[in-house]
């Protein structure tokens, strides 16, 4: 290295007026650079060397400090400092290193670039400093020529500028995301409130219809008692029983909605559950016009599932299938048929519970509505809660519920549950 190139040997530039402060030649805010060194000569020479410095269309504003204490005070005042050129040994052997920790740990400033320069490299070995301190460059005063100083400063300012822009972009994206989340929360809250309103309206509507049926039965019973009309009395009582039954079903289903918020997993036999459901419909004899069959794979091993919840789900599907057959007109040689199947899909790792019927089927434009709360294709015979409850139970198990149907031919509902949870 030629000594004439060294920042601290070449004093030809000192003939310039050192008090001249660099200005912003392009109308933007200057880069703020802090120089911390206990040698006044270093301040003078650095000021002179950088008096005409510009980078990215911006000049430079220099801030000087002669000790760690002055540096900390200046850093607190100028929190927009882009770069600090920092001497290691000042009032103590590690004063500069203490400032590095102060910047990174106390001020929590990760953007400011730090160039350490020292005239006593033995007191602060470069390898140790680079590894243990968050700095960006390390120079000895003997090797720091004007050109190298300029190169180091430009490199650090470019890095600082990139970090600031990235941080601004991050904050902008974060703000946009927070605003979007807030809007979505507000929309979700409105939808939730609207859903509650609709739910209450539907419940009240259903209860009102049931109440009308009960009032009709009450009227017939009172009239029959006055006229001593046993036939009318029986009709009135049947109407009242229908109303009571529907109110019980509505109450039960509403309780199920809240009851199955929490799924309790225990090992159990899914085949035993299915056989129980098949047996319940075969033994009652309430629907002689509908044949209920079971096709159950008994080799399926025990699974983790909520027995009561899945029992309710399969009962709901089987009841719907039986209803679909009960209210369909069949030829003399045919009758309603519901098949409850259970089989495993070993490759996909799922167990399927399936109900297939040859009932009246579901119209295609209705299929996407049947899992919506309070939507029912049964008119006065349903409250629109069974399928939504079933879907909620299945999804709570990590499974899926789907349906295929053809108007006039029948429907197949499939519950798919994971075998390993």
Residue 162's pLDDT band, with cuts at 50, 70 and 90, is: very high
CATH number for domain 176-259, candidates 1.10.15, 3.30.70, 1.10.287, 1.10.510:
1.10.287
Express each pLDDT in 104-134 by its tens digit: 999 999 999 999 887 765 555 666 777 788 8
Q: Is 199's pLDDT higher than 90?
A: no
Give the per-residue pLDDT at 23: 38
Annotated domain spans of the chain: 3-144, 176-259, 262-418
Fold adopted by 262-418: Heat Shock Protein 90 (3.30.565)
Question: Which among 131, 102, 106, 119 is positioned nearest to 34, based on CA atoms?
Answer: 102
Q: Which residues pair with 247 in a beta bridge?
A: none
Give the per-residue pLDDT at 285: 54
Q: Is 382's pLDDT higher than 90?
A: no
How much is the mean pLDDT over the chain? 81
Give the per-residue pLDDT at 16: 38
Residue 352's pLDDT band, with cuts at 50, 70 and 90, is: very high
Residue 260's pLDDT band, with cuts at 50, 70 and 90, is: low
Q: Are 233 and 240 in contact (CB under 8 A)?
A: no
Give the per-residue pLDDT at 25: 35
Q: Is 327's pLDDT higher than 70?
A: yes
Fold adopted by 3-144: Rossmann fold (3.40.50)
- The pLDDT of 338-356, averaged and rounded, is 89
Express each pLDDT in 35-53 by its tens digit: 999 989 889 988 888 888 9
Q: Is 147's pLDDT higher than 50?
A: yes
Residue 255, token pair as written in the block: 């309780």
Same fold for the domain at 176-259 and the one at 262-418?
A: no
Q: Which residue has the higher pLDDT, 21 or 122?
A: 122
Give the per-residue pLDDT at 92: 87
């Amino acid at each position: 290295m030629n000594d004439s190139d060294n920042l601290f040997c070449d004093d030809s530039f000192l003939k310039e007026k050192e008090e001249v402060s660099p200005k912003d030649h392009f109308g933007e805010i200057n880069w703020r650079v802090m120089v911390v060194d206990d040698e006044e000569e270093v301040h003078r020479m650095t000021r002179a060397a950088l008096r005409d410095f510009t980078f990215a269309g911006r000049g430079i504003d220099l801030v000087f400090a002669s000790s760690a204490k002055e540096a900390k005070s200046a850093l607190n005042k100028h929190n927009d400092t882009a770069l600090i050129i920092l001497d290691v040994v000042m009032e103590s052997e590690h004063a500069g290193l203490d400032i590095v920790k102060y910047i990174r740990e106390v001020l929590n400033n990760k953007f400011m670039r730090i160039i350490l320069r020292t005239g006593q490299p033995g007191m602060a070995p470069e390898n140790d400093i680079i590894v243990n301190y968050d700095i960006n460059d390390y120079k000895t005063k003997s090797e720091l020529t004007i050109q190298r100083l300029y190169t180091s400063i430009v490199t650090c300012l470019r890095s600082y500028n990139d970090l600031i822009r990235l941080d601004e972009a991050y904050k902008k994206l974060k703000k946009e995301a927070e605003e979007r989340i807030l809007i979505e929360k507000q929309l979700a809250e409105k939808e939730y409130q609207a859903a509650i309103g609709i739910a209450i309206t539907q419940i009240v509507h259903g209860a009102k219809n049931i109440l009308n049926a009960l009032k009709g039965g009450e009227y017939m019973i009172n009239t029959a008692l006055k006229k001593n009309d046993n036939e009318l009395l029986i009709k009135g009582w049947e109407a009242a029983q229908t109303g009571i039954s529907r109110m019980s079903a509505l109450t039960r289903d509403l309780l199920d909605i809240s009851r199955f918020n929490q799924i309790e997993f225990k090992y159990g036999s899914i085949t035993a559950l299915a056989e129980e459901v098949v047996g319940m419909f075969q033994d009652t004899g309430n629907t002689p016009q509908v044949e209920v069959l079971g096709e159950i794979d008994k080799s399926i091993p025990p699974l983790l599932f909520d027995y009561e919840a899945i029992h309710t789900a399969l009962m709901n599907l089987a009841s719907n299938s039986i209803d679909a057959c009960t209210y369909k007109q069949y030829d003399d040689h045919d009758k309603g048929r519901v098949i409850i199947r259970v089989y495993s899909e070993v490759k996909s790792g799922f167990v399927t519970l399936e109900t297939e019927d040859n009932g009246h089927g579901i119209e295609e434009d209705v299929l996407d509505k049947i899992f919506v709360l309070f939507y029912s294709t049964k008119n006065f015979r349903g409250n629109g809660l069974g399928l939504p409850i079933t879907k909620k139970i299945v999804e709570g198990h990590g499974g899926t519920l789907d349906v295929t149907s053809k108007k006039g031919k029948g429907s197949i509902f499939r519950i798919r549950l994971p075998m390993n949870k």
